Amino acid sequence: MCYAFTQKVEAATLMRELLSRNRKTVNVIEDKRLKKENVSPTDFILTIHKQEEKYLVDSLYWGINFSDKSPLIANSRIETIKEKLYWRGLFDKSRYIIPMTGFYEWKKERNKKVCYKIFLPDEDFFFAAALGTIDKDKRKSVSLITTTPNKFMEPIHHRMPVLLRMQEGIDYLTDSIEINLKRCKPLEDDIKTEMIPDDKRTKDPV
């Protein structure tokens, strides 16, 4: 799963990248509440969504909550999306990408959990696939999509976010549901990633 990440990328940078690859209009809604480090569920996070013929860079609440008694859904399994009609509908009609510069996972080593930061060393930032909805308070919320781990992640955790590079992320917002269901798979094992201990995060949030 993914319950913490870093988002050290500016909305203006995302706008420039989108404009350089598309002729569509990009609207940016600024939000000073956004965190750069240790972003966690219930935080507002930077997101990108396609709205009609425009791309919208906006801040949305991380975690879908259907009622006061239901759990917060910060992560949505791609297997559930494929199987359940409601989740498949959200995936088809309400897709988002979440810019990240790294995400955290905790690995049990001996008698304690050790925090690691995972990132792509050859990318300034990358995207996590997500879907969204409007909750009971009319607040727009998103949930990250997770899949099975690749060989790199397997020793650390049994799940990982669906990670997309720049063009893959843009295509994810516009491609058909059939193409995107196939796209939601573990990051290829031959793509180099690096894992570093992060002393700033020592407590598993779950």
pLDDT in tens, the chain (206 residues): 789 999 999 888 898 888 888 767 888 887 877 999 999 999 999 999 998 889 999 999 999 998 888 899 999 999 999 999 999 999 999 999 999 999 999 888 888 888 899 999 889 999 999 999 987 778 899 999 999 999 999 999 999 999 999 999 999 999 999 999 999 999 998 888 888 876 655 455 54
pLDDT of 26: 85
pLDDT of 5: 96
CB proximity list for 62: less than 8 A, separation 6 or greater: 39, 40, 41, 42, 43, 44, 45, 74, 141, 142, 143, 144
Going by C-alpha positions, the residue among 126, 166, 140, 161 that lies closest to residue 31 is 140
Q: Residue with structure tokens 């350089």?
A: 20
pLDDT of 201: 55
Task: Report yes or no: 7 and 47 within 8 Å, Cβ to Cβ.
Answer: no
Going by C-alpha positions, the residue among 57, 78, 53 that lies closest to residue 183 is 78
Q: Which two tokens stand for residue 4?
A: 């913490």
Quickly count: other Cβ atoms within 10 Å of residue 15's Cβ.
16
Where do the domains of the chain lie, and which CATH numbers do they carry?
A: 5-197 (3.90.1680.10)
pTM assigned to the model:
0.92
